[in-house]
Amino acid sequence: MASIDLNSDVGESYGIYRLGNDAAVLDHVSSANVACGMHAGDPQTIAATVQLAIARGVSIGAHPGFADLQGFGRRPMHLGVEELYNLMLYQIGALQAFAKAAGNRLVHVKTHGALYNMAARDRAMARAICDAVRDADRELVFFGLAGSELVHAARDTGLTVAEEVFADRTYQDDGSLTPRTDPRAMITDVQQSVDQVLRMVRFGVVRSVNGVDVPVRPDTLCIHGDQPGAAQFAQVIRQALEAEGIAVRAIGHVPTSL
């Protein structure tokens, strides 16, 4: 049976601030990208989110971003290669520790926000990120935007790669995501999202905002956990995939205990 991973960015609450409904989203996805405390999240939130994922048999991943709580990691920052490497290693290590303490393990890494989008185009950034992932644990699966520099760098470093596509974002002609400053960036209609997902899975293409069919490889499919109605999106998309005979399954082995 054909399969695809369904992932969501979760654990993005911080202190008294609540963002998203992680428990409801995690009921429908197979992989959780847990914020590492830099762009969002804190130790209590990380611990709670890891427990929610374990209880549902959901694969645990680190979701490192720029150190930018005020901007939610969506503002560009220009760091040296060594700074970026150390920033990634620090955040991956935090999630590794929480997963291990909970009797589980970290399975994958996916960068966040501006870091993700910048490194998708910048080979030096992508390589620094992938070097950190490899040095933390070369068994970690790396999630990167389909066809991007992130994917190429991960393969160059010998990592297992899952090429990522998006259920709730629109695309540019070059396969990059439409910037969030553009009012067309987000898909808020569930049926439009389902149509985009099924086309990517069936035919390996996504239609850009300009009507261009862009080739993609859909190994893992993202739904943003902070988007209003994210749990409904996840549920409807999963049902649509399964109705097409496509199983929703995490990339790699998901341990129940060490």
Measure the CA–CA gap between 4 and 234, rounded to whole angstroms. 13
pLDDT digits (tens, 9 = 90+) for 202-226: 999 999 999 999 999 999 999 987 7
Q: Would 110 be classed as within a structural domain?
A: yes
Q: Would 255 be classed as within a structural domain?
A: no
pLDDT digits (tens, 9 = 90+) for 161-178: 999 999 999 999 999 999
Residue 254 has pLDDT above 80, yes or no: no
Q: Would 92 be classed as within a structural domain?
A: yes
Mean pLDDT confidence for 158-163: 97
- DSSP, collapsed to helix, strand or coil, labels residue 64 as coil
Q: Would 225 be classed as within a structural domain?
A: yes
Number of domains in the chain: 1
pLDDT of residue 228: 78
Q: Would 36 be classed as within a structural domain?
A: yes
Q: Would 258 be classed as within a structural domain?
A: no
Measure the CA–CA gap between 214 and 42, rounded to whole angstroms. 37
Q: Would 203 be classed as within a structural domain?
A: yes
Q: Would 254 be classed as within a structural domain?
A: no
CATH number for position 87: 3.20.20.370
Mean residue pLDDT of the chain comes to 95
Question: What range defines the domain where residue 93 resides?
Answer: 3-248
pLDDT digits (tens, 9 = 90+) for 57-84: 999 999 999 999 999 999 999 999 999 9
pLDDT of residue 169: 94
If pLDDT is split at 50, 70 and 90, which confidence band does 229 have?
A: confident
pTM (whole model) above 0.75:
yes
The residue type found at 196 is: Q
Q: How many residues does the chain have?
A: 258
